Amino acid sequence: MDDEKEICVLLSRLVRKEGFKTLVAHDGETALKLIVSERPDLLLVDFKMPGMNGMELLKRSMEIDSDLPIVMITAYADIKGSVAAMRAGAHDYLAKPFENLEVIRVVHRALTERNLRRKISQLTNQSQEVYRLNEMMGPSDVIYQLIFKINQVAKSDFTVLIQGETGSGKELVAQAIHQSSNRSGGPFIPVDCGAIPETLLENELFGHEKGAFTDAKLQKSGKIELARDGTLFLDEISNMPLRSQAKLLRVLQEKKVYRVGATKPIKIDIRLLVASNIDLFALTESGSFRSDLFFRLNDLSLNVPALRERKEDIPYLAKRFLDQTSSELNTNVKRFSKSAIDTLLAYDWPGNVRQLRSTIRRAVLLADDIITEKHIDVERHAMPGLIFKQETQKVPLGNLSLTKIIRSNTIALEREILIKALEHTGGNKTRAARLLMIDYKTLRTKIKQLDISIGRGI
Protein backbone atom coordinates (compact mmCIF):
# COMPACT_ATOMS: atom_id res chain seq x y z
CA MET A 1 0.00 0.00 0.00
CA ASP A 2 1.44 3.33 -1.13
CA ASP A 3 -0.15 6.44 -2.56
CA GLU A 4 2.76 6.59 -5.06
CA LYS A 5 1.72 4.22 -7.86
CA GLU A 6 5.28 3.88 -9.14
CA ILE A 7 6.40 2.45 -5.80
CA CYS A 8 3.56 -0.10 -5.90
CA VAL A 9 4.50 -1.14 -9.43
CA LEU A 10 8.15 -1.58 -8.44
CA LEU A 11 7.39 -3.57 -5.28
CA SER A 12 4.85 -5.77 -7.08
CA ARG A 13 7.34 -6.61 -9.79
CA LEU A 14 10.05 -7.52 -7.24
CA VAL A 15 7.75 -9.71 -5.16
CA ARG A 16 6.18 -11.49 -8.14
CA LYS A 17 9.67 -12.44 -9.38
CA GLU A 18 10.07 -14.34 -6.10
CA GLY A 19 6.96 -16.41 -6.92
CA PHE A 20 4.39 -14.55 -4.80
CA LYS A 21 1.04 -13.04 -5.74
CA THR A 22 0.49 -9.36 -5.02
CA LEU A 23 -2.39 -7.03 -4.22
CA VAL A 24 -2.13 -3.24 -4.51
CA ALA A 25 -3.93 -0.43 -2.69
CA HIS A 26 -3.34 3.33 -2.78
CA ASP A 27 -5.41 4.29 0.27
CA GLY A 28 -6.15 2.88 3.73
CA GLU A 29 -9.82 2.00 3.24
CA THR A 30 -9.11 -0.06 0.13
CA ALA A 31 -6.25 -1.81 1.93
CA LEU A 32 -8.49 -2.76 4.87
CA LYS A 33 -11.11 -4.25 2.54
CA LEU A 34 -8.44 -6.36 0.82
CA ILE A 35 -7.08 -7.55 4.18
CA VAL A 36 -10.55 -8.71 5.22
CA SER A 37 -11.43 -10.37 1.90
CA GLU A 38 -8.06 -11.78 0.77
CA ARG A 39 -6.24 -12.46 4.07
CA PRO A 40 -2.73 -11.68 2.77
CA ASP A 41 0.43 -13.16 4.31
CA LEU A 42 2.38 -9.89 4.39
CA LEU A 43 1.66 -6.16 4.26
CA LEU A 44 4.02 -3.48 2.90
CA VAL A 45 2.74 -0.07 4.03
CA ASP A 46 3.93 3.45 3.32
CA PHE A 47 4.27 5.39 6.58
CA LYS A 48 3.17 8.81 5.30
CA MET A 49 0.01 9.02 3.20
CA PRO A 50 -2.95 11.37 2.90
CA GLY A 51 -6.04 10.26 4.82
CA MET A 52 -5.38 7.13 6.85
CA ASN A 53 -1.61 7.05 7.49
CA GLY A 54 0.56 3.96 7.92
CA MET A 55 0.40 3.95 11.73
CA GLU A 56 -3.41 3.97 11.72
CA LEU A 57 -3.52 1.21 9.12
CA LEU A 58 -1.06 -0.80 11.22
CA LYS A 59 -3.35 -0.66 14.26
CA ARG A 60 -6.52 -1.50 12.35
CA SER A 61 -4.84 -4.31 10.39
CA MET A 62 -3.65 -5.95 13.61
CA GLU A 63 -7.23 -5.88 14.91
CA ILE A 64 -8.22 -7.93 11.86
CA ASP A 65 -5.22 -10.31 11.88
CA SER A 66 -2.91 -10.05 14.90
CA ASP A 67 -0.34 -12.40 13.26
CA LEU A 68 -0.07 -10.42 10.01
CA PRO A 69 3.55 -9.26 9.53
CA ILE A 70 3.63 -5.58 8.52
CA VAL A 71 6.64 -3.86 7.00
CA MET A 72 6.66 -0.04 7.08
CA ILE A 73 8.07 1.90 4.11
CA THR A 74 9.48 5.28 5.05
CA ALA A 75 11.72 8.08 3.92
CA TYR A 76 15.01 8.24 5.83
CA ALA A 77 13.88 11.38 7.63
CA ASP A 78 10.94 9.49 9.15
CA ILE A 79 12.99 6.67 10.69
CA LYS A 80 11.86 7.65 14.20
CA GLY A 81 8.26 7.19 13.13
CA SER A 82 9.05 3.71 11.82
CA VAL A 83 10.75 2.79 15.09
CA ALA A 84 7.55 3.86 16.89
CA ALA A 85 5.56 1.69 14.45
CA MET A 86 7.76 -1.32 15.25
CA ARG A 87 7.13 -0.78 18.91
CA ALA A 88 3.43 -0.79 18.07
CA GLY A 89 3.77 -4.18 16.37
CA ALA A 90 5.31 -3.69 12.91
CA HIS A 91 7.64 -6.51 11.87
CA ASP A 92 10.28 -4.40 10.08
CA TYR A 93 10.77 -1.29 7.96
CA LEU A 94 12.31 -0.28 4.63
CA ALA A 95 13.92 3.14 4.21
CA LYS A 96 13.54 4.93 0.88
CA PRO A 97 15.40 4.73 -1.39
CA PHE A 98 15.64 0.98 -0.76
CA GLU A 99 17.72 -1.62 -2.56
CA ASN A 100 15.88 -4.36 -4.44
CA LEU A 101 17.77 -7.13 -2.63
CA GLU A 102 16.89 -5.56 0.72
CA VAL A 103 13.19 -5.71 -0.16
CA ILE A 104 13.46 -9.40 -1.08
CA ARG A 105 15.39 -10.20 2.11
CA VAL A 106 12.83 -8.46 4.33
CA VAL A 107 9.90 -10.16 2.56
CA HIS A 108 11.43 -13.64 2.82
CA ARG A 109 12.35 -13.20 6.48
CA ALA A 110 8.86 -11.98 7.42
CA LEU A 111 7.18 -14.84 5.57
CA THR A 112 9.58 -17.42 7.04
CA GLU A 113 8.68 -16.32 10.56
CA ARG A 114 4.95 -16.35 9.72
CA ASN A 115 5.28 -19.88 8.33
CA LEU A 116 7.04 -20.92 11.54
CA ARG A 117 4.14 -19.64 13.62
CA ARG A 118 1.70 -21.51 11.36
CA LYS A 119 3.69 -24.74 11.71
CA ILE A 120 3.67 -24.36 15.47
CA SER A 121 -0.08 -23.75 15.56
CA GLN A 122 -0.62 -26.99 13.61
CA LEU A 123 1.15 -29.01 16.30
CA THR A 124 -1.90 -28.94 18.53
CA ASN A 125 -1.10 -32.25 20.22
CA GLN A 126 2.37 -31.19 21.24
CA SER A 127 3.47 -29.86 24.60
CA GLN A 128 4.37 -26.28 25.37
CA GLU A 129 8.01 -27.34 25.64
CA VAL A 130 8.11 -28.54 22.01
CA TYR A 131 6.49 -25.28 20.96
CA ARG A 132 9.28 -23.46 22.80
CA LEU A 133 11.93 -25.66 21.17
CA ASN A 134 10.73 -24.69 17.68
CA GLU A 135 10.78 -21.03 18.69
CA MET A 136 14.25 -21.26 20.21
CA MET A 137 16.02 -23.34 17.56
CA GLY A 138 14.55 -21.95 14.33
CA PRO A 139 12.12 -22.57 11.44
CA SER A 140 14.28 -24.79 9.22
CA ASP A 141 13.02 -28.14 7.96
CA VAL A 142 15.80 -30.03 9.78
CA ILE A 143 14.64 -28.60 13.12
CA TYR A 144 11.04 -29.43 12.25
CA GLN A 145 12.13 -33.03 11.50
CA LEU A 146 14.03 -33.15 14.80
CA ILE A 147 10.86 -32.09 16.64
CA PHE A 148 8.90 -34.79 14.82
CA LYS A 149 11.36 -37.41 16.11
CA ILE A 150 11.16 -35.96 19.62
CA ASN A 151 7.38 -36.36 19.53
CA GLN A 152 7.78 -39.98 18.43
CA VAL A 153 10.10 -40.93 21.30
CA ALA A 154 8.89 -38.62 24.09
CA LYS A 155 6.01 -40.78 25.37
CA SER A 156 8.19 -43.89 25.57
CA ASP A 157 10.76 -44.66 28.27
CA PHE A 158 13.54 -45.16 25.72
CA THR A 159 17.02 -44.05 26.69
CA VAL A 160 17.95 -41.44 24.10
CA LEU A 161 21.49 -40.59 22.99
CA ILE A 162 21.57 -36.94 21.85
CA GLN A 163 24.61 -36.16 19.72
CA GLY A 164 25.78 -32.79 18.48
CA GLU A 165 28.51 -30.19 18.69
CA THR A 166 29.06 -27.95 21.70
CA GLY A 167 26.55 -25.09 21.74
CA SER A 168 24.13 -26.73 19.29
CA GLY A 169 21.27 -27.13 21.78
CA LYS A 170 21.48 -30.70 23.13
CA GLU A 171 20.11 -29.78 26.56
CA LEU A 172 17.17 -27.96 24.95
CA VAL A 173 16.31 -31.19 23.15
CA ALA A 174 16.59 -33.17 26.39
CA GLN A 175 14.28 -30.72 28.19
CA ALA A 176 11.75 -30.95 25.34
CA ILE A 177 11.73 -34.76 25.56
CA HIS A 178 11.17 -34.61 29.32
CA GLN A 179 8.41 -32.01 29.15
CA SER A 180 6.63 -33.96 26.41
CA SER A 181 6.90 -37.26 28.28
CA ASN A 182 4.66 -39.00 30.81
CA ARG A 183 7.27 -38.02 33.42
CA SER A 184 6.89 -34.27 32.89
CA GLY A 185 5.42 -33.94 36.39
CA GLY A 186 8.65 -35.34 37.85
CA PRO A 187 12.07 -33.66 38.15
CA PHE A 188 14.50 -32.99 35.30
CA ILE A 189 17.99 -33.44 36.77
CA PRO A 190 20.93 -32.40 34.55
CA VAL A 191 24.51 -33.47 35.27
CA ASP A 192 27.44 -32.12 33.26
CA CYS A 193 29.93 -34.99 33.31
CA GLY A 194 32.62 -32.73 31.82
CA ALA A 195 32.39 -30.10 34.56
CA ILE A 196 32.70 -32.38 37.61
CA PRO A 197 36.16 -33.71 38.62
CA GLU A 198 36.55 -37.47 38.34
CA THR A 199 37.01 -37.82 42.10
CA LEU A 200 33.64 -36.14 42.79
CA LEU A 201 31.51 -37.54 39.96
CA GLU A 202 30.48 -40.77 41.69
CA ASN A 203 29.51 -38.91 44.86
CA GLU A 204 27.47 -36.49 42.72
CA LEU A 205 25.67 -39.32 40.91
CA PHE A 206 25.21 -41.89 43.70
CA GLY A 207 25.25 -39.78 46.88
CA HIS A 208 26.72 -40.98 50.19
CA GLU A 209 25.84 -42.09 53.68
CA LYS A 210 26.80 -40.15 56.78
CA GLY A 211 30.36 -41.14 57.77
CA ALA A 212 31.13 -42.75 54.40
CA PHE A 213 34.33 -40.68 54.26
CA THR A 214 36.03 -37.96 56.32
CA ASP A 215 33.90 -35.00 55.22
CA ALA A 216 30.62 -36.94 54.99
CA LYS A 217 28.98 -35.33 58.02
CA LEU A 218 25.47 -35.63 56.59
CA GLN A 219 23.66 -38.09 54.36
CA LYS A 220 23.40 -36.92 50.75
CA SER A 221 21.14 -38.16 47.97
CA GLY A 222 22.80 -38.49 44.55
CA LYS A 223 21.47 -37.08 41.30
CA ILE A 224 20.23 -40.54 40.21
CA GLU A 225 18.13 -40.82 43.34
CA LEU A 226 16.86 -37.22 43.00
CA ALA A 227 15.65 -37.99 39.46
CA ARG A 228 13.23 -40.67 40.72
CA ASP A 229 9.96 -40.64 38.72
CA GLY A 230 11.52 -38.06 36.41
CA THR A 231 14.42 -37.70 33.96
CA LEU A 232 18.18 -37.83 34.52
CA PHE A 233 20.16 -36.01 31.83
CA LEU A 234 23.87 -36.86 31.62
CA ASP A 235 25.52 -34.23 29.46
CA GLU A 236 28.88 -34.91 27.77
CA ILE A 237 28.83 -38.51 29.01
CA SER A 238 31.99 -39.23 26.99
CA ASN A 239 33.89 -37.57 29.87
CA MET A 240 32.68 -40.19 32.37
CA PRO A 241 35.56 -42.37 33.69
CA LEU A 242 35.42 -46.12 32.92
CA ARG A 243 34.95 -46.97 36.62
CA SER A 244 31.88 -44.74 36.84
CA GLN A 245 30.60 -46.17 33.55
CA ALA A 246 30.62 -49.66 35.07
CA LYS A 247 28.64 -48.47 38.11
CA LEU A 248 26.12 -46.62 35.93
CA LEU A 249 25.57 -49.74 33.81
CA ARG A 250 24.85 -51.74 36.95
CA VAL A 251 22.33 -49.13 38.12
CA LEU A 252 20.51 -49.24 34.78
CA GLN A 253 20.40 -53.06 34.72
CA GLU A 254 19.29 -53.54 38.34
CA LYS A 255 17.17 -50.36 38.65
CA LYS A 256 18.64 -49.65 42.05
CA VAL A 257 21.46 -47.51 43.36
CA TYR A 258 23.84 -47.78 46.31
CA ARG A 259 24.94 -44.59 47.99
CA VAL A 260 28.67 -44.47 48.75
CA GLY A 261 29.14 -46.28 52.06
CA ALA A 262 25.68 -47.93 51.97
CA THR A 263 24.89 -51.64 52.24
CA LYS A 264 21.23 -51.44 51.25
CA PRO A 265 20.14 -50.44 47.73
CA ILE A 266 17.54 -47.79 46.86
CA LYS A 267 15.06 -48.66 44.13
CA ILE A 268 14.87 -46.11 41.37
CA ASP A 269 12.51 -45.42 38.48
CA ILE A 270 14.06 -42.91 36.09
CA ARG A 271 14.17 -42.09 32.41
CA LEU A 272 17.75 -41.56 31.21
CA LEU A 273 18.81 -39.11 28.49
CA VAL A 274 22.48 -38.68 27.58
CA ALA A 275 24.36 -36.29 25.33
CA SER A 276 27.78 -36.27 23.72
CA ASN A 277 29.73 -34.01 21.39
CA ILE A 278 31.94 -36.96 20.45
CA ASP A 279 31.08 -40.09 18.47
CA LEU A 280 30.59 -42.57 21.34
CA PHE A 281 30.79 -45.61 19.08
CA ALA A 282 34.24 -44.50 17.92
CA LEU A 283 35.27 -44.24 21.59
CA THR A 284 34.11 -47.80 22.21
CA GLU A 285 36.44 -48.99 19.47
CA SER A 286 39.36 -47.11 21.04
CA GLY A 287 38.51 -48.55 24.46
CA SER A 288 37.66 -45.16 26.01
CA PHE A 289 33.98 -45.98 26.45
CA ARG A 290 32.37 -49.27 27.46
CA SER A 291 30.63 -50.92 24.52
CA ASP A 292 28.05 -52.62 26.77
CA LEU A 293 27.08 -49.25 28.26
CA PHE A 294 26.95 -47.66 24.79
CA PHE A 295 24.45 -50.24 23.51
CA ARG A 296 22.42 -49.90 26.71
CA LEU A 297 22.24 -46.12 26.22
CA ASN A 298 21.54 -46.16 22.49
CA ASP A 299 17.85 -47.19 22.39
CA LEU A 300 17.46 -44.27 20.00
CA SER A 301 19.89 -41.66 18.73
CA LEU A 302 19.02 -38.05 17.88
CA ASN A 303 21.48 -35.81 16.04
CA VAL A 304 21.27 -32.07 16.69
CA PRO A 305 22.54 -30.38 13.51
CA ALA A 306 25.30 -27.78 13.72
CA LEU A 307 24.31 -24.21 12.87
CA ARG A 308 26.39 -24.28 9.67
CA GLU A 309 24.19 -27.17 8.49
CA ARG A 310 20.97 -25.12 8.86
CA LYS A 311 21.97 -21.62 7.84
CA GLU A 312 18.37 -20.71 7.06
CA ASP A 313 17.90 -20.50 10.85
CA ILE A 314 20.61 -17.85 11.25
CA PRO A 315 18.56 -14.74 10.27
CA TYR A 316 15.67 -15.91 12.48
CA LEU A 317 17.90 -16.61 15.50
CA ALA A 318 19.90 -13.41 14.97
CA LYS A 319 16.69 -11.33 14.95
CA ARG A 320 15.46 -13.08 18.10
CA PHE A 321 18.75 -12.39 19.92
CA LEU A 322 18.68 -8.81 18.63
CA ASP A 323 15.16 -8.23 19.98
CA GLN A 324 16.01 -9.79 23.35
CA THR A 325 19.19 -7.76 23.78
CA SER A 326 17.64 -4.53 22.52
CA SER A 327 14.84 -4.91 25.04
CA GLU A 328 17.31 -5.76 27.80
CA LEU A 329 19.50 -2.72 27.04
CA ASN A 330 16.53 -0.46 26.14
CA THR A 331 18.06 0.54 22.80
CA ASN A 332 16.56 1.40 19.39
CA VAL A 333 18.58 -1.24 17.51
CA LYS A 334 15.90 -3.12 15.56
CA ARG A 335 17.36 -4.51 12.35
CA PHE A 336 20.37 -5.74 10.36
CA SER A 337 21.79 -4.34 7.16
CA LYS A 338 22.02 -6.72 4.20
CA SER A 339 25.81 -6.78 4.56
CA ALA A 340 25.45 -7.82 8.21
CA ILE A 341 23.15 -10.71 7.28
CA ASP A 342 25.56 -11.72 4.51
CA THR A 343 28.42 -11.73 7.04
CA LEU A 344 26.43 -13.91 9.44
CA LEU A 345 25.53 -16.36 6.66
CA ALA A 346 29.11 -16.55 5.35
CA TYR A 347 30.54 -17.65 8.72
CA ASP A 348 30.58 -21.31 9.82
CA TRP A 349 29.89 -20.73 13.56
CA PRO A 350 32.13 -23.36 15.20
CA GLY A 351 30.53 -22.40 18.54
CA ASN A 352 27.04 -22.83 17.05
CA VAL A 353 24.01 -21.02 18.50
CA ARG A 354 25.85 -20.11 21.70
CA GLN A 355 28.49 -18.22 19.69
CA LEU A 356 25.87 -16.53 17.48
CA ARG A 357 24.03 -15.24 20.55
CA SER A 358 27.23 -13.76 22.03
CA THR A 359 28.10 -12.14 18.70
CA ILE A 360 24.67 -10.50 18.33
CA ARG A 361 24.70 -9.25 21.92
CA ARG A 362 28.04 -7.50 21.30
CA ALA A 363 26.74 -6.05 18.02
CA VAL A 364 23.63 -4.57 19.69
CA LEU A 365 25.85 -2.96 22.29
CA LEU A 366 28.04 -1.36 19.60
CA ALA A 367 25.33 -0.27 17.12
CA ASP A 368 23.20 2.89 17.20
CA ASP A 369 20.16 1.86 15.15
CA ILE A 370 21.12 -0.67 12.45
CA ILE A 371 23.62 -3.51 12.85
CA THR A 372 26.06 -3.50 9.93
CA GLU A 373 28.93 -5.82 9.06
CA LYS A 374 31.37 -3.65 11.05
CA HIS A 375 29.48 -4.57 14.23
CA ILE A 376 29.72 -8.33 13.55
CA ASP A 377 32.83 -9.43 15.41
CA VAL A 378 33.27 -13.12 14.67
CA GLU A 379 36.35 -14.86 15.96
CA ARG A 380 37.72 -16.78 13.06
CA HIS A 381 40.60 -18.34 15.04
CA ALA A 382 42.97 -18.46 12.10
CA MET A 383 45.89 -20.48 13.51
CA PRO A 384 49.11 -21.21 11.66
CA GLY A 385 49.51 -24.95 11.38
CA LEU A 386 45.87 -25.87 11.98
CA ILE A 387 45.08 -25.90 8.31
CA PHE A 388 46.69 -29.05 7.04
CA LYS A 389 46.10 -31.98 4.74
CA GLN A 390 45.11 -35.12 6.63
CA GLU A 391 46.53 -38.25 5.08
CA THR A 392 44.06 -41.14 5.02
CA GLN A 393 45.31 -44.14 6.96
CA LYS A 394 46.34 -47.06 4.78
CA VAL A 395 43.84 -49.84 5.44
CA PRO A 396 43.85 -53.18 3.58
CA LEU A 397 40.48 -53.42 1.92
CA GLY A 398 38.41 -56.41 2.97
CA ASN A 399 39.62 -56.35 6.57
CA LEU A 400 37.44 -53.48 7.84
CA SER A 401 34.03 -52.11 6.92
CA LEU A 402 33.67 -48.61 5.47
CA THR A 403 32.13 -47.42 8.75
CA LYS A 404 35.10 -48.63 10.78
CA ILE A 405 37.59 -47.14 8.32
CA ILE A 406 35.84 -43.74 8.54
CA ARG A 407 35.68 -43.86 12.35
CA SER A 408 39.34 -44.81 12.59
CA ASN A 409 40.33 -41.86 10.39
CA THR A 410 38.03 -39.53 12.35
CA ILE A 411 39.81 -40.39 15.60
CA ALA A 412 43.21 -39.89 13.92
CA LEU A 413 42.07 -36.50 12.56
CA GLU A 414 40.74 -35.40 15.95
CA ARG A 415 44.03 -36.38 17.60
CA GLU A 416 46.03 -34.44 15.00
CA ILE A 417 43.91 -31.29 15.47
CA LEU A 418 44.28 -31.41 19.25
CA ILE A 419 48.04 -31.82 18.98
CA LYS A 420 48.27 -28.87 16.56
CA ALA A 421 46.16 -26.68 18.85
CA LEU A 422 48.27 -27.54 21.90
CA GLU A 423 51.47 -26.89 19.98
CA HIS A 424 50.07 -23.54 18.83
CA THR A 425 49.33 -22.50 22.42
CA GLY A 426 52.62 -23.75 23.78
CA GLY A 427 50.87 -26.52 25.67
CA ASN A 428 48.38 -24.20 27.41
CA LYS A 429 45.25 -26.34 27.66
CA THR A 430 43.00 -23.46 28.71
CA ARG A 431 43.91 -21.45 25.60
CA ALA A 432 43.68 -24.54 23.39
CA ALA A 433 40.17 -25.30 24.69
CA ARG A 434 39.11 -21.70 24.02
CA LEU A 435 40.67 -21.85 20.55
CA LEU A 436 38.76 -25.05 19.68
CA MET A 437 35.58 -23.75 21.38
CA ILE A 438 35.23 -26.71 23.74
CA ASP A 439 35.25 -26.67 27.52
CA TYR A 440 38.45 -27.34 29.46
CA LYS A 441 37.23 -30.61 30.98
CA THR A 442 36.35 -32.00 27.56
CA LEU A 443 39.80 -31.12 26.22
CA ARG A 444 41.51 -32.75 29.18
CA THR A 445 39.42 -35.91 28.76
CA LYS A 446 40.18 -36.06 25.04
CA ILE A 447 43.91 -35.71 25.72
CA LYS A 448 43.69 -38.70 28.05
CA GLN A 449 41.44 -40.78 25.78
CA LEU A 450 43.56 -40.17 22.69
CA ASP A 451 46.83 -40.70 24.56
CA ILE A 452 48.24 -37.29 23.66
CA SER A 453 51.54 -36.42 25.32
CA ILE A 454 52.87 -32.86 25.07
CA GLY A 455 56.01 -31.46 26.65
CA ARG A 456 56.25 -29.93 30.10
CA GLY A 457 54.06 -27.00 31.13
CA ILE A 458 50.71 -28.61 30.29
pLDDT digits (tens, 9 = 90+) for 278-314: 888 888 988 889 999 999 999 999 999 999 999 999 9
DSSP annotation string for 208-266: E-TTSSTT--S-EE-HHHHTTTSEEEEETGGGS-HHHHHHHHHHHHHTEE--BT-SS-E
d(CA 335, CA 92): 7
Residues of the chain with CATH 1.10.8.60: 307-375
| 195: Cβ contacts below 8 Å, ≥ 6 apart | 439, 441
Q: Could you tell me the pTM of the whole model?
A: 0.61
3-state helix, strand, coil in the chain (%, to 5): 50, 10, 35
| 161: Cβ contacts below 8 Å, ≥ 6 apart | 274, 275, 276, 280, 297, 298, 299, 300, 301, 302
Report yes or no: 92 and 105 within 8 Å, Cβ to Cβ.
Answer: no
Listed residue (352, 282, 281) closest to 313, CA to CA: 352
Dihedral-angle region of residue 116 (phi above 0 means left; psi in -120 to 50 means alpha; beta otherwise): alpha
**Ranges of residues in the chain whose predicted pLDDT is under 50:** 77, 124-126, 380-389, 456-458
Residues of the chain with CATH 3.40.50.300: 128-303
Pick among 3.40.50.10680, 3.60.140.10, 3.20.20.70, 3.40.50.300: CATH of 128-303: 3.40.50.300
Residue 193, number of CB atoms within 10 A of its CB: 24
Residues of the chain with CATH 3.40.50.2300: 5-120
Report yes or no: 409 and 393 within 8 Å, Cβ to Cβ.
Answer: yes
Residues of the chain with CATH 1.10.10.60: 388-458
CA of residue 372 relative to chain centroid, distance: 23
Dihedral-angle region of residue 169 (phi above 0 means left; psi in -120 to 50 means alpha; beta otherwise): left
- The domain covering 388-458 belongs, at the CATH homologous superfamily level, to Homeodomain-like (1.10.10.60)
The CATH code of domain 307-375 reads 1.10.8.60
Report yes or no: 287 and 294 within 8 Å, Cβ to Cβ.
Answer: no
Residue 402 DSSP symbol? H
Question: Which segments of 298-401 does DSSP mark as H helices, in order?
Answer: 314-329, 338-346, 352-366
Residue 385 amino acid letter: G
Q: Which residues of 373-388 are buried (b: 16+ CB within 10 A; e: fewer)?
A: bebbebeeeeeeeeee
Tell me what pLDDT residue 456 has.
40
Report yes or no: 114 and 42 within 8 Å, Cβ to Cβ.
Answer: yes
Is the C-alpha dihedral spanning 15, 17, 23, 28 positive or negative? Answer: positive
Fold of 5-120: Rossmann fold (3.40.50)
> Three-class SS of residue 202?
helix
| 256: Cβ contacts below 8 Å, ≥ 6 apart | 265, 266, 267, 268
H or E element that contains 197:
none
Tell me what pLDDT residue 123 has.
53
